[in-house]
Amino acid sequence: MSQQGVPAMSKTPSIDEEVWEQDLKERLFAKIPLFIFSLLMFTVALSFMGYEIPDALLWADFLLVFGVFTVYVVSRHLTLYVFKRLGEAVLTLFIIASLTFLLLRIMPGGPFDRDKALPPEVLANIEAKYNLNAPLYVQYFDYLKGLSRGYLGESYKYIGRGVTDIIMEALPVSFQLGFYSLILAFLLGIPLGVFAASKHNSRFDYFAMFLANSGTALPSFLVGPILIIIFCFWLNWLPAAFWDGPEYYILPVLTLGLRPVAVIARLTRANVLDVIRSDYIRTARSKGLAEKVVLYKHVLKNSLIPVLTFSGPLAAAILSGSFVIELIFNIPGIGKHFVESVTNRDYPLILGVTLVFSFLLVLANLIVDLLYVYFDPRIKLS
């Protein structure tokens, strides 16, 4: 299964020594992504099983991925492109920050509007503390000044806590949850889609798609409680809430993962159908290649491109947490801040989480665009 993401490896033995040598080198080279993939999976498995992950392993993961990406970018002459995109990203983030800043001030209700109204003297002191009594443009430039130094300000709600601290504490949890769900989505979604496409319009197709579609057919605030009732109260197998080890991970990951599984399965199915009907696959078939080989080797690689396009925004959305699932399973992730910072009118925190999300989105889209070239060398990025 893990070989999907890897270029097709030729297994035809060569007689010529020299050619064989070269072949060996190529094959070793081809193994590098596989190795890194295995290492990543190992890390994920370790963390899923509730083990303390050594820092060395995390660094190894990070450096290897980063290194390979750098080598990849440089070898394909994409360095300039990457820098250009990053420059654009800075501009985009700046506009997003400004626009959000403005919208927040238009929105009715202030951060210190309480159900029990505060006396004017008290309110004046608070506004002075947070500089809210200054003209709006001064506040805006102060915020930008802070931003340029990477300072996101201090939360209005959680007194004395920096926005960066709050995000750095909550984001890893959401990342963990999101990462498991994404893996579930790809591991289940792609085979399901291929399977359904290979049996197009048959009972199996309908059944597989029924399975997948069921995952998107109910809102997660309903799926979560249903799973809790079944696995916690009827079967007594899994805990109802918290985030404290493998047994705690299963239900939230399942709840969060069901939708992406379905989406990916459907996308894969549609694209596999698309590719199956294209001419060169017909040629491959007519040459008498085994059905499975055709399906997994030729069809899959080509039909993964649209799935890839979709994976960028999907990854960004899933990694940045889910309000509902974090609420239902009481997971201390970042999802709640996307909703609660707004209802609290906690301006610095709203801006903080918004920027984090846009940064993730921009980054995910960049990575996806870079991967395009890998999957389809005909694509040119400029």
Partner 1 sequence: MRSSSKSLWIDAFNRLKKNKASMVSLGIIIVLCFIALFARQISPYPFDEQHMDAILQPPSARFWLGTDSLGRDLLSRVIYGARMSMAVGILTAFISLILGTIYGVISGWFGGRVDALLMRALDIITSIPTLVLMILVKVIFDSVQLFENPELRALTSILLALSLVGWVSLARVVRGQVLQVKEMTFVEAARALGASQFWTVIKHVLPNILGPIIVLLSFQIPSNILFESFLSFIGLGLQPPFSSWGVLASEGAKSIRSYPHVIISPGVALFIAMLAFQFLGDGLRDALDPKMKGSV
Partner 2 sequence: MPLNSRFWAIIFLSAAFFFSGCTKKKKSYDFDPKNTLFSRLGAEPPSLDWHKSSDTTSAEVIMNMMEGLVEYNLSDPELSLKPALAVKWRAENKAQRWIFTLREGVKWTDGKSFTAQQVVDGWERLLNPATASEYAYFLFGVKNAKAYNSGKIKDFSQVGVHVNSQGELVVDLEAPQSYFPYLLAHHSTYPIRKDVVKKFGDQWTNPRNIQTLGAYRLVKWDHDKAIVLKANKDFYGGEPPIKNVVLHIVKDAQAALNLFDTHKIDILDSLPSVELKHLRKRPEYRTVPLLGIYYFGLNVKKKPTDNVLVRKALSMAIDRKEITDMLGGGQVPMTSWVPKGMFGYMPDKGLKFNVKKARELLDKAGYKDRSRFPTLKLLFNTNEDHQRVAENIQAQLKRNLGINVELGNAEWKVYLSALKSNNTPHIFRMGWIADFPDPDNFLNLMTSYSANNHTNWSNKEFDRLILKAATVTDKKERLRLYGKAQEILVEKEVPVIPIYSYVSTQLVSKRVLGYASNAMGIKKYKEMRLQ
Tell the smallest beta-carbon distance from residue 96 to partner 1 (Å).
5
**Partner whose binding site includes residue 290, from partner 1, partner 2, none (CB under 5 to 8 Å by kind):** none
Q: Which is nearer to partner 2, 244 or 376 (CB)?
A: 244
Q: Are 93 and 359 in contact (CB under 8 A)?
A: yes
- What distance in Å separates the CA atoms of residue 246 and residue 351, rounded to the nearest whole number? 33
- What distance in Å separates the CA atoms of residue 170 and residue 44, rounded to the nearest whole number? 18
Among 7, 10, 26, 53, binds partner 2 (CB under 8 A): 53
- What distance in Å separates the CA atoms of residue 190 and residue 295, rounded to the nearest whole number? 12
Q: Which is nearer to partner 1, 40 or 381 (CB)?
A: 381
Q: Is 157 in a helix, a strand, or coil?
A: coil
Tell the smallest beta-carbon distance from residue 304 to partner 1 (Å).
17
- The site that binds partner 2 (CB under 8 A) totals a number of residues, namely 62
**Partner whose binding site includes residue 202, from partner 1, partner 2, none (CB under 5 to 8 Å by kind):** none
Does 115 interact with partner 2 (rule: CB under 8 A)?
A: yes
Ranges of H-type helices in 199-276 = 203-217, 220-228, 246-276
Q: Which is nearer to partner 1, 166 or 324 (CB)?
A: 324
Does 166 interact with partner 2 (rule: CB under 8 A)?
A: yes
Closest CA to 168 of 364, 362, 373, 349: 349
Q: What phi-psi label fits residue 185: left (phi over 0), alpha (psi between -120 and 50 degrees) or beta?
A: alpha
Residue 31-50 contact track with partner 2, rule CB under 8 A, x = bound = x---x--x---x---x--xx
Binding site for partner 1 (CB under 8 A): 88, 92, 95-96, 99-100, 103-104, 106-108, 200-201, 206, 209-210, 213-214, 216-219, 221-222, 225-226, 229, 233, 266, 269-270, 273-274, 277-278, 313, 323-324, 338-339, 342-343, 350, 353-354, 357-358, 361-362
**Partner whose binding site includes residue 274, from partner 1, partner 2, none (CB under 5 to 8 Å by kind):** partner 1
Q: DSSP string of 289-335?
A: --HHHIIIIIIHHHHHHHHHHHHHHHHHHHHT--HHHHHHTT---SH
Does 58 interact with partner 2 (rule: CB under 8 A)?
A: no
**Partner whose binding site includes residue 112, from partner 2, partner 1, none (CB under 5 to 8 Å by kind):** partner 2
Dihedral (C-alpha) 361, 367, 373, 374: value to the nearest 10 degrees? -130
Tokens of 48: 């899923």
**Partner whose binding site includes residue 204, from partner 1, partner 2, none (CB under 5 to 8 Å by kind):** none
Q: Which is nearer to partner 1, 47 or 345 (CB)?
A: 345
- What distance in Å separates the CA atoms of residue 357 and residue 350, rounded to the nearest whole number? 11
- Chain centroid to Cα 241, Å, comes to 23
Distances (CA, A) of 371 to 30, 40, 213, 325, 333: 16, 18, 28, 30, 29
Q: What phi-psi label fits residue 360: left (phi over 0), alpha (psi between -120 and 50 degrees) or beta?
A: alpha
Measured N-to-C along each axis, helices 300-319 and 163-198 cross at an angle, to the nearest 10 degrees, of 150
Tell the smallest beta-carbon distance from residue 87 to partner 1 (Å).
12
Among 19, 28, 102, 293, binds partner 2 (CB under 8 A): 28
Residue 196-235 contact track with partner 2, rule CB under 8 A, x = bound = -----------------------------x--x---xx--
Among 70, 79, 125, 278, binds partner 2 (CB under 8 A): 125
Q: Which residues of the shown chain bind partner 2 in the complex (CB under 8 A)?
A: 24, 27-28, 31, 35, 38, 42, 46, 49-54, 57, 107-110, 112-122, 124-126, 128-130, 157-161, 166, 169-170, 225, 228, 232-233, 239-242, 244-245, 327-330, 332, 336, 343, 345
